[in-house]
């Protein structure tokens, strides 16, 4: 069955520290991969996406993610976290075979000054 | 920019009431989706529509129905609200040539 796993429910980092949020997927077809961010009380905003090509993709707000097919992973990274990055982050996967996306359960990021 | 609006940000209803949640988009996207979001469960798909008057059940359609009479508008209906439908409801749109989804701000529904 298709699935997306975000192993970390809650992560706390200090402002200025580096960040890596993990995402693993199980998908039979070639996956399309997304990271979304949700600020408190808001809808989801697309951070970045991977369809094909270069496995390191750049997104908005200084985020990047790397697709590793051998590890079935698409981890999100940021070299230096800002207090405004505190939010919930969702990984999602889709494919050519379906219009639907499957979302992970999310990782809540807390940033300390 | 894609704009997806939802009729209410917060809604409080009583058990047994019929509830309508509306979603409107301004980008002529073919596909529209309704999700509910609960802590620890992520987003779960309720229904989606890939054209006017077309709909398909998602993963958790029980207790819900939908209506899409116009391309820009997708309504979620709770025929008889129950307390276990207290949740955040998110609408999203998507073109059929792309796979990224664009979300509205959400409606936090409380059923008492």
Q: Tell me: the pLDDT tens digits for B34-53?
A: 999 998 899 999 999 999 98
Contact at 8 Å (CB) between A12 and A73? no
Q: CA A95 to CA A74: how far, in whole Å?
A: 15
Q: How many inter-chain contacts (A to B, CB under 8 Å) are there?
A: 52
Contact A41 B31 (CB under 8 A): no
- pLDDT at residue B10 in the model: 96
Whether residue A43 and residue B50 make contact (CB cut-off 8 A), yes or no, is no
Taking the alpha carbons of B24, B29, B33, B38 in that order, is the dihedral positive or negative? negative
Q: Are A75 and A23 in contact (CB under 8 A)?
A: yes
What is the structure's pLDDT at B69? 95
- For the stretch B61-82, pLDDT in tens is 999 999 999 999 999 999 999 9
Query: What does the pLDDT look like over A33-92, one tens digit per residue?
Result: 999 999 988 889 999 999 888 899 999 999 999 999 999 999 999 999 999 999 999 999
For A32, which of B4, B99, B108 is closest by C-beta distance? B99
| Interface list for A 38-77 with B (CB within 8 A) | 41-46, 49, 51
Question: Is the CB of A99 inside 8 Å of chain B's CB atoms?
Answer: yes
């Amino acid at each position: 069955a298709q699935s997306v796993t975000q192993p970390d429910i809650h992560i706390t980092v200090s402002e200025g520290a580096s960040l890596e949020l993990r995402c693993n997927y199980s998908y039979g077809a070639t996956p399309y991969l997304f990271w979304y961010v949700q600020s408190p009380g808001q809808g989801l905003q697309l951070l970045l996406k991977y369809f094909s090509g270069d496995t390191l993709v750049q997104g908005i707000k200084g985020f990047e993610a790397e697709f590793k097919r051998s590890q079935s992973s698409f981890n999100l990274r940021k070299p230096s976290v800002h207090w405004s990055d505190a939010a919930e982050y969702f990984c999602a996967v889709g494919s050519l075979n379906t219009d639907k996306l499957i979302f992970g359960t999310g990782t809540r990021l807390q940033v300390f000054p | 920019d894609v704009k997806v609006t939802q009729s209410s940000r917060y809604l409080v209803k009583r058990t047994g009431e019929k509830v309508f949640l509306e979603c409107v988009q301004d980008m002529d996207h073919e596909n529209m989706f309704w999700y509910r979001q609960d802590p620890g469960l992520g987003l779960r798909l309720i229904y989606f529509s890939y054209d006017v008057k077309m709909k398909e059940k998602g993963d958790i359609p029980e207790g819900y129905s939908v209506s899409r009479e116009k391309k820009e508008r997708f309504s979620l209906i709770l025929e008889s609200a129950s307390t276990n439908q207290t949740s955040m409801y998110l609408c999203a749109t998507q073109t059929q040539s792309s796979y990224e989804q664009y979300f509205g701000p959400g409606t936090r529904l409380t059923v008492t």
